[in-house]
Chains A and B, each alone.
Chain A
């Protein structure tokens, strides 16, 4: 979903793809998108070929129908009365054609559903798997709603276009060509009519769609803004209720609602002329066919035109011709609509491809070193870092951490504490300077190995929809129920879980069940307790847990921290006080470094903080 003008994340300004997000499809891009969609189809080429064959056959059969009906009518209007045998024969042929055509058409429809679902499945899979390889940065700068709308709404648009329009185009082309051949056989002169009307049709459609296209893209943009706003405001519905701001927010929503609907109407206003106009051109062709056909038939009847002449036509011939010209004109009418749908499918596909083309996390360097049996020695040397080049978050950070040490990071909000964690885990890479683990520079080791070396408990607890059991053993898939329960006990969340009607099988979901932030955090601590990584990161890991519970889980936490290199960001002095080294981080620089006593004696920021709570 596109974010509104108001929703621009300041960090997005630096997005290198920004220029491409405007949504206008250049000619080259259209071609690229078309080629790539073609590739998806070609991957399923056996199905696709069968589908084409079925389409052609089915249409061939339905095109034969009018021919036999014309012959049957001719058999009735012959000079020697009704030729029942001929009528019977032709009726039989008609019936066979139509039944055959219907069966083939259905088979084709089923086939196309399989085909398009396979493609859509692949696209969704690719998109999702791409998402999981994207750098964390991508998610920090792209709203969830937008990603979701690409994987659902946009792929859906591509899907319906593939399964419906593709067949339609094939059918249409075939019908147009087929009808043309039949008409050519019946009467060559009468085709002249279409020499006039078809170009009119095409020119008109082109002219119109050029005019309407920008209106349509405005329409989807406005709709996106509306959806984005609704999504955002609904997520705050309780706060809105608490402040009684329903009316004001409702009005603001409505403003966007009206804008979106006006944009819709503007597009529809112009496109409303399209269908009837093309229809008019069709009717015009038939009228002209009729006039010409009538005259020719007249001449054929009174003998002005010889039976062998190019201009000769029978009554059945006129009837056939009119029927075929309807068949001929129909698809041309449809084309106008399909071009439209293709356009929206293209821009949807482009949005999907844009994520698929997004640069993944840079691959591990060649000959990346494995990182096994980690001791836990971590060294920062002159590390500089900024999320955007202009704004340094960390400057000249140098720290030595010995295996098994606990490092506490203290500082005002926004000083860059969490950023250090991002660098340790290589969610982001340093701008300059180095970080080493066990003497290996971390940008030279396998990312997976590096991350496996850490266990992480964050303030933002993350649980997924699944049972509590699944959530706890998430970091260790082969954990038994006993291990899970032991971890939950140590995290002091066991009795709460046992009290739930479903116990460990209770399904956690974002909404619905009443589980407090603190309880969520305890579950993630239990998850961490199951892990056996040599290093630990605690980023406000117990911020939502009350201090009594925290004391109770202290033993577990101590167990967790024992013999591990720990990086701790916390409020709690107890943890910090006992840290081997406390770093005070202010405006991206380490301003104080040392253990508790040293820093208290220093009389700097830390001691001020420490004394502040005694007031």
Chain B
């Protein structure tokens, strides 16, 4: 909840202005029962119809003002709520994009998604509702209490006694509620996961005729969600009846007590009537507040989930050169005895050292799970090395400001991110690139021909995740994106695996021609994609087991020779 307050702070002025108007409106409304009792007590006894009408009209006027004030205040409140959520969402999204990959792994993407959608929506609702009702209800409550005190302090004591009991109970119930709703949220996550998985794997499920199995699997999560929702609902459902009962008991007590007071001429029936009016008003206010508590309970769980992301420690900060001194080297890229472990247990990379001059080409090959992609991820500083250091132009990459750092790279990764937009925009990717640059890049990436084969060419719309083009076409777009920014370092991580041999060969040729000054790192499983590289690394279980040119490795590295033979002898076709 602290988090919400922090973001509401800048709106304090506007909110307090809105509150004031709301207070005015509510106070005016509070006068209504007062006037009512005045009519009953005094005006009616005078016997002048004129006076009754006069006072009645005053009530109408009060009601009118109350309405006007409330409309204005409500509008101001929605404005604050709008600005508040806009700001929170903006900050949250920006923060999410800055999370380090390790943090994203921890949160998981579906969970981040639900935090920026459902959870933000929950607290938005809460802020809007709190402003609307959160003022009216307490004022009706306090104002009602004050007026009843003035009218008859003795009877109002009854109310004062019930209040703390009610608040105590509400507090108790909502304390129980928060963990229950957190649990519900988790169950929802589980349910959603099964749906997501099954939608993605529908072919496999149908192929294996596993629909019954999946029905059972879904049924399990569905049932546990129902169970959790019931549990939370049954606890929270008690708030309303309990409150109503307590308030009504208060009314009963007032009536009971007032009998002897009327008999003792300390009070009169008219006052009791007005008193009960206030009591009803107050109990309605309490009702609203109980609803707010239920909402508060839900949104507190959401606010915590958002705050978790916002407060995640900043990872991968830019370090000072004092702590991470530059290294005197002519190499463009230098790995110096790098160790790395994802989980901090087993090393995923061990003792990796390499040097690459500017414009040089590096190929990385190795078995599945040998650490090829990990090496690339370290160079891109998705993760920080556990031991050793990586230098670019002699600077430890931990000391390079991220903007400068990102501008050095063009990356086409194994996981492909293409999104619902035009092909042009997917290549341009929000950068300041001209049409020419984009087309040139597409030509080098062997993508221009298939792009222009679409009726609308570069304006062709991709669907979400680019499901409307083939795997090979996706990869070529990704490569075009990587080279369009004319990077110093180009990384192609298994990014031409779906290309047929001829296209792949053409791509290599074009890259050599057009990207002479670019240092290129290629991760691949085909020897043919790598064999012309200046330097080839062979990785196995996180260690370098071979290093050199194609010819050297054929001599020195039996594993490499094995791979090469297997592919060259009876290599690949598509």
Contact = CB atoms under 8 A, between A and B. Distances in A.
B230 A113 contact: yes
Interface in A316-362: 316, 318-319, 322-323, 326, 330
Interface string A90-126: 1100110011011101100110011001001100110
Nearest to B264: A82
A261 B124 CA distance: 10
Interface stretch (B107-115, B146-154, B175-183, B384-392): B107-115
Contacts of B573: 410, 571, 573, 576, 606, 609-610, 613
A65 B283 CA distance: 14
A129 B44 contact: no
A381 interface: no
A452 interface: yes
Nearest to A245: B430
| Most chain A CB atoms below 10 A, which of B193, B219, B369, B405 | B369
B420 A280 contact: no
Contact of A294 (B25, B40, B413): B40
A465 B194 CA distance: 8
B464 A448 contact: no
Interface stretch (B5-13, B253-261, B434-442): B253-261
Given A452-B209, A514-B348, A241 B470 contact: no
A73 interface: yes
Contacts of B211: 129, 132-133
A68 B554 CA distance: 102
Given A277-B71, A451-B208, A609-B574, A132 B270 contact: no
Contacts of B240: 105, 109
Contact of A475 (B56, B208, B366): B208
Secondary structure dominating the interface of A: helix
B407 interface: yes
Contacts of A110: 234, 237
A322 B109 contact: no
Contacts of B117: 227, 230-231
Interface string A384-404: 000000000000000000000
Contacts of A577: 570
Interface stretch (B95-103, B354-362, B513-521): B95-103
A322 B36 contact: yes
Interface in A393-445: 410-414, 425, 427
B290 interface: no
Contacts of B142: none
Nearest to B497: A543
Interface stretch (B81-89, B161-169, B317-325, B329-337): B81-89
B218 interface: yes
A234 B96 contact: yes
Contacts of B205: 132
B193 A519 contact: no
A132 B93 contact: no
A231 B96 CA distance: 12
Contacts of A277: 67, 71
B4 interface: no
Contact of A612 (B32, B71, B89, B505): B505
A132 B195 CA distance: 10
Interface string B20-55: 000001000100100010011001110101001101
Given A65-B248, A458-B203, A548-B562, A519 B470 contact: no
A434 to B, nearest CB: 21
Interface stretch (A21-29, A285-293, A364-372, A480-488): A285-293
A571 B342 CA distance: 32
B116 interface: yes
B203 A136 contact: yes
B244 interface: yes
B39 A512 contact: no
B79 interface: yes
B469 to A, nearest CB: 8
B90 A315 contact: no
A223 B431 CA distance: 27
Contacts of A606: 573
Give the bracket for the number of chain A residues in contact with chain B: 35 or more
Nearest to B345: A501
A101 B251 CA distance: 15
A547 B563 CA distance: 6
Secondary structure dominating the interface of B: helix
Nearest to A128: B218
Nearest to A515: B369
B237 to A, nearest CB: 4
B14 interface: no
Interface stretch (A44-52, A144-152, A180-188, A555-563): A144-152
B104 to A, nearest CB: 6
Given A10-B461, A139-B199, A291 B368 contact: no
Contact of A545 (B116, B249, B368, B481): B368
A11 interface: yes
B463 A10 contact: yes
B71 to A, nearest CB: 5
| Most chain B CB atoms below 10 A, which of A241, A323, A465, A608 | A241
A546 interface: yes
Nearest to B28: A283
Contact of B467 (A140, A326, A573): A140
A4 B419 CA distance: 12
A82 B259 contact: yes
Nearest to B111: A511
B226 A131 contact: no
Interface string A168-179: 000000000000
Given A72-B259, A413-B472, A571-B573, A239 B413 contact: yes
B406 A242 contact: yes
A302 B49 CA distance: 13
A236 interface: yes
B571 A234 contact: no
A23 B421 CA distance: 24
Contacts of A102: 241-242, 244-245, 248
A440 to B, nearest CB: 18
Interface string A227-241: 110111111111111
Given A230-B117, A613-B571, A512 B106 contact: yes
A91 to B, nearest CB: 4
A9 B462 CA distance: 7
A203 interface: no
A564 B445 CA distance: 40
A548 B345 CA distance: 27
B263 A82 contact: yes
A3 B211 CA distance: 28
Nearest to B432: A248
| Most chain A CB atoms below 10 A, which of B49, B78, B259, B473 | B259
B365 interface: yes
| Most chain A CB atoms below 10 A, which of B99, B277, B430, B499 | B430
B415 interface: yes
A4 B420 contact: yes
B365 A113 contact: no
Given A82-B263, A109-B237, A413 B368 contact: no
Interface in A462-486: 462, 464-465, 474-475, 477
A95 B96 contact: no
Nearest to A454: B207
B567 interface: yes
Contacts of A410: 573-574
Nearest to A228: B464
A610 to B, nearest CB: 5
Given A91-B255, A223-B121, 6 more contacts: A87-B256, A241-B98, A291-B56, A323-B277, A454-B207, A465-B193
Closest 7 CB pairs of A and B: A244-B406, A518-B368, A236-B417, A248-B430, A291-B56, A283-B63, A413-B472
17 contacts: A10-B461, A76-B259, A98-B249, A121-B223, A132-B198, A234-B116, A253-B90, A254-B93, A323-B277, A413-B498, A414-B473, A510-B108, A510-B109, A517-B414, A522-B368, A547-B526, A615-B505
